[in-house]
Amino acid sequence: MKVKCYIQGMAAISPQSTFEGDITNMPLVRTESNRLACIEPDYKPYIPANSLRRMTRILKMGLTAALKCLAESGVSTPGPIVTGTGKGSLQDTEKFIKEIEQYKETALNPTPFIQSTYNSVNGLIALQQQGTDYNNTFVHRGFSFENALVDSMMLLQEGYTHTLTGGFEEITPEHFYIKSRIGHWRTEPVANTDLFNQELPGTIAGEGSTFFVLGAEANEHSIAALSACKLLYKPDPMQLTATLRELGADADLIISGTNGDSNHAHYYHLLNNTLTQPSIPFKHLCGEYETAGAFALWLAASLLKAGTIPSALFPMVQQLPSNFKKIVIYNHFYGEQHTVMVVERV
């Protein structure tokens, strides 16, 4: 979809120190395990203490990222709230399932079930900010966040002045173990900084919560412009090549979703053969998960705002470009859902 909209505020809670938003001074958080966990901020300035006790990690991360995003944009009422998530609140889901077995389907606590629904984050944001507009959550695996993005762009085209759009995901020990049994993660521990040294089966797990206020018009808060978002389901090489050329031929920088997984690396080889511009990865910063594209968009907008690429965050890249105005993001989720986004300087 090609409809230009403007990022007027954003916030990210991730395995890096992204919540403060200063990418130029952000150190690279290095891990030796195959699971990147979020660095969680102090929630007390954003959520009342009596509510904090009843909320799980993903609810706290989602609500806090959304509230900070709204504060930075200067928008008090969120308007339409549109999000994407692949799994929702895994912690609540697992707790509810365990209690079904533990209590033999009797005397169940309804709270984990209520909070396990995919739209619980949206509901909390609306309640906190007294939002009564359109409210929707997309659960489409690797298309979840991008579908929310396209929906938001259509809402802006239809007349809304702004939307609150985001993606959120969490990884629990149980879910990490289940996915390791089907080969999603590396069999041996690998540091995130060494992820691209050698292509092997599997990658590293991640999680995060990222929100944006998207506006129909540029204003003093505008950070970057999102000019295109295209989704491709299981594309053939010719279709993917044509899309990359159409959207990325005049880009100055490519942000690639390469994750060191040899099972699906051929798509990123095709990217490198199609577009010759400088390219940087992002999944050593956040790991692999369904809505990692939201982190990539935050990264692209942050780099455009800063006007430079901090070398500390990309030690594996030998030569970083210094002059860029247009960034293309290409990512896929296990070879099925492919997405291309175009982000430009305002």
Q: What is the pLDDT of residues 102-141, one digit of tens each?
A: 878 887 778 777 777 888 899 999 998 988 999 999 999 9
- Structure confidence at residue 112 (pLDDT): 75
- Structure confidence at residue 1 (pLDDT): 65
288 contacts 205 by C-beta, under 8 angstroms = yes
Residue of 71, 79, 229, 233 lying closest to 155 (CA atoms): 79
Residue of 145, 290, 139 lying closest to 226 (CA atoms): 145
Which residues on neighbouring strands pair with residue 9, listed in sequence order? 213
How many angstroms separate the CA atoms of 335 and 196, rounded? 18
Instruction: Collect the ranges in the chain with pLDDT lower than 50.
Output: none
- Structure confidence at residue 82 (pLDDT): 98
- Which pair of structure tokens corresponds to residue 5? 């909209």
Global confidence as pTM = 0.95
Give residue-wise pLDDT tens across range 230-241: 999 999 999 999
26 contacts 310 by C-beta, under 8 angstroms = yes
Straight-line distance from the first to the last Cα atom of the chain, in angstroms, rounded to the nearest whole number = 19
How many angstroms separate the CA atoms of 209 and 85, rounded? 10
How many helices and strands in the chain, by DSSP H and E?
A: 11, 10
Domain 5-344, CATH: 3.40.47.10
User: Which residue type is seen at 215?
Assistant: G
- Structure confidence at residue 43 (pLDDT): 95
Which residues on neighbouring strands pair with residue 140, listed in sequence order? none
Sign (positive or negative) of CA dihedral 288, 289, 290, 293: negative
From its phi and psi, is residue 53 left (phi > 0), alpha (psi between -120 and 50) or beta?
A: alpha
- Structure confidence at residue 53 (pLDDT): 85
- Structure confidence at residue 45 (pLDDT): 93
82 contacts 155 by C-beta, under 8 angstroms = yes
- Using DSSP, state whether 200 is helix, strand or coil: strand
Residue of 130, 168, 124 lying closest to 148 (CA atoms): 168
